[in-house]
Amino acid sequence: MTEREAISDIIDAHRHLEGSLLPILHAVQDRFGYLPPNSNRLIADALRVSEADVHGVISFYHYFRQRPPGKHAVSVCRAEACQAQGCRQLEAHIKTRLGIDFHDVTDDGQFSLEPVYCLGNCATGPTVRVNNTIYGRMSAEKVDRLFERLAVDTVRLLS
């Protein structure tokens, strides 16, 4: 199935919903990891809105992305409860360790980094999310071990 066909199928499966734009964007991003350049026009045509309208919605929400994320999409919580547990230092450590800033992807495509404001894990912070898994009581050492394990798992899968 081509990318275009896949997107059209997703649109057809959701367009009957009330306020269908967000469910469609979620489904496309779930499928591809991001919103491919083609998707704006296809969605706009199907919903009879302008491409600018679709773009406006995508750009409003932090979660929607128009570039592929890393294989391991890392988010680090920057909000107050994690601040009280040292997330500012953890954030600096993660940026140094991965060699990237927020909204970037490592050169090998393994890791991307995003800020997040609260993962609801506020009694056991600092908190980090990788894809859909949430890790509590993190420290520089635990993050190092986690990233090493994730990188090794990838090598194992490839070989």
Which residues bind to another protein, rule: CB under 8 A? Answer: 18-23, 25-26, 47, 56-57, 60-64, 79-85, 116-125, 127, 129, 132-137
Q: Which is nearer to another protein, 40 or 121 (CB)?
A: 121
Q: How far is the CB of 155 from another protein (least distance, A)?
A: 22
Nearest distance in Å: CB 52, another protein: 11
- In the bound state with another protein, the residue whose beta carbon lies nearer, of 81 and 105, is 81
CB 46 within 8 A of CB 38: no
- Smallest gap from Cβ 81 to another protein, in A, equals 4
Which residue, 68 or 86, is less far from another protein as judged by CB? 86
Nearer to another protein by C-beta: 54 or 105?
54
Pairing mode, strands 133-135 and 128-130: antiparallel
Please report how close the Cβ of residue 108 comes to another protein at its closest, in angstroms: 26
